[in-house]
Amino acid sequence: MPKLNIKEILDKTVDYFEKYDIAQPRLDAEVLLADLLDMERINLYVNFDRPLSPDEVDTYRELILKRRQGTPVAYLVGEKEFMGLKFKVNSDVLIPRPETEHLVQSILNRIDTWEEEEVKIADIGTGSGAIIISIAKLADKLVQGIAIDISESSLAIAQENAANLEVEEQLEFKEGNLLEPLDEKVDIIVSNPPYIPSGEIDGLQEEVQQEPSLALDGGQDGLDYYRKIIDQAVDYLTTDGLIIFEVGIEQSQDVADLLKKRNYSNIEIKKDYSDIERVVLAKYN
């Protein structure tokens, strides 16, 4: 029996994924195969005629089955690109989303105009560390970051990512609930907290439900963590310090109202590339 080549097995996989309504059949098939063969996706195209060994085919089929059963591609390959950087991920952490890049970019834009040469930032619920590590790596000024998470296993992933991206000396990692581990004031508090209303968790896509519920469930109205962080942050922000959140669809005004009630000022709402209000920021003075 002739061996399948790259083109043939990709075409078969795309057809299979389409049959099971996988959202990005071609992309998922290519990412899984490129990772298995240890090559860049573009190199799949210049190696279309390369035959796969029986072991490679068997391993790829196992990955295909897991993907069809709902396991996210990022968990299968063990990494996710974010802000042009590669982050290790596993089922202990939320997979970094493209929309969260708007949160990071908003902070980078603010840092560009920061008067001081050093900025201290606390990332609440850091998960994989994608937010604070990207800021530390890409900012024009020196960033000293504090990455906080209640999950010890999440912090271990974040620390590994910081080491891989060579910013570990700029960051502290603290285990604890929200801002409780902080013992100093910071210039910026950033968070992408759980914001899915509890009643909507069961209706999420199967692959999203594979991610940690602790990183998804935002309570009855999805706003529980915003309330807590907004209340706690007033004790930890420097004068004119900045608080900045990612928010879910149709949550921006609710979060802005919570900030107003606690006397934050200069409240701004920013949209993502899909024209969805995705980032809310404010000052505290």
Q: Is residue 79 a part of any domain in this protein? A: no
CA angle 97, 102, 106 (to 5 degrees): 145
Please tell me the predicted confidence (pLDDT) of residue 196. 83
Counting the structural domains of the chain, the total is 2
Q: Is residue 219 a part of any domain in this protein? A: yes
Is position 125 annotated in a ligand binding site?
yes
Q: Is residue 75 a part of any domain in this protein? A: no
Question: 45, 69, 93: which is the final residue of a domain?
Answer: 69
Q: Are residues 199 and 106 in the same domain?
A: yes
pLDDT per residue over 243-271, tens digit each? Answer: 999 999 999 999 999 999 999 999 999 99
Is position 128 annotated in a ligand binding site?
yes
Q: Are residues 92 and 61 in the same domain?
A: no
Least Cα distance to 121 among 20, 191, 208 occurs for 191
Q: Is residue 31 a part of any domain in this protein? A: yes
pLDDT at 14 over 70: yes
Q: Are residues 49 and 89 in the same domain?
A: no
pLDDT at 9 over 70: yes
Q: Are residues 28 and 154 in the same domain?
A: no
Is position 129 annotated in a ligand binding site?
yes
Q: Is residue 57 a part of any domain in this protein? A: yes
Pairing of strands 186-191, 237-246: parallel
Q: Is residue 21 a part of any domain in this protein? A: yes
Q: Are residues 55 and 194 in the same domain?
A: no
Q: Are residues 145 and 12 in the same domain?
A: no
Least Cα distance to 246 among 218, 200, 201, 277 occurs for 277
Please tell me the predicted confidence (pLDDT) of residue 117. 84
Q: Are residues 216 and 129 in the same domain?
A: yes
Is position 194 annotated in a ligand binding site?
yes
Range of the domain at 112: 84-284
Is position 72 annotated in a ligand binding site?
no
pLDDT at 209 over 80: no
Q: Is residue 187 a part of any domain in this protein? A: yes
φ, ψ for residue 47, nearest 5 deg? -125, 30
Please tell me the predicted confidence (pLDDT) of residue 203. 77
The fraction of the chain above a pLDDT of 70, given in percent, is 99
Please tell me the predicted confidence (pLDDT) of residue 2. 64
How far is it, in rounded angstroms, from Cα 75 to Cα 107?
Answer: 28
Q: Are residues 43 and 161 in the same domain?
A: no
How far is it, in rounded angstroms, from Cα 228 to Cα 169?
Answer: 29
Is position 222 annotated in a ligand binding site?
no
CATH of the domain at 213: 3.40.50.150
pLDDT at 36 over 90: yes
Question: 69, 100, 121: which is the final residue of a domain?
Answer: 69
Question: 69, 94, 115: which is the final residue of a domain?
Answer: 69
Q: Are residues 171 and 102 in the same domain?
A: yes
Comparing 26-35, 143-152, 217-226, 258-267, which segment has the lowest mean pLDDT?
Answer: 217-226
Query: pTM for the complete prediction?
Result: 0.92
Q: Are residues 172 and 229 in the same domain?
A: yes
- Mean pLDDT for the stretch of residues 81-96: 95
Q: Is residue 195 a part of any domain in this protein? A: yes
Q: Are residues 29 and 129 in the same domain?
A: no
CA angle 149, 91, 218 (to 5 degrees): 55
- Mean pLDDT for the stretch of residues 146-163: 97
Q: Are residues 16 and 107 in the same domain?
A: no
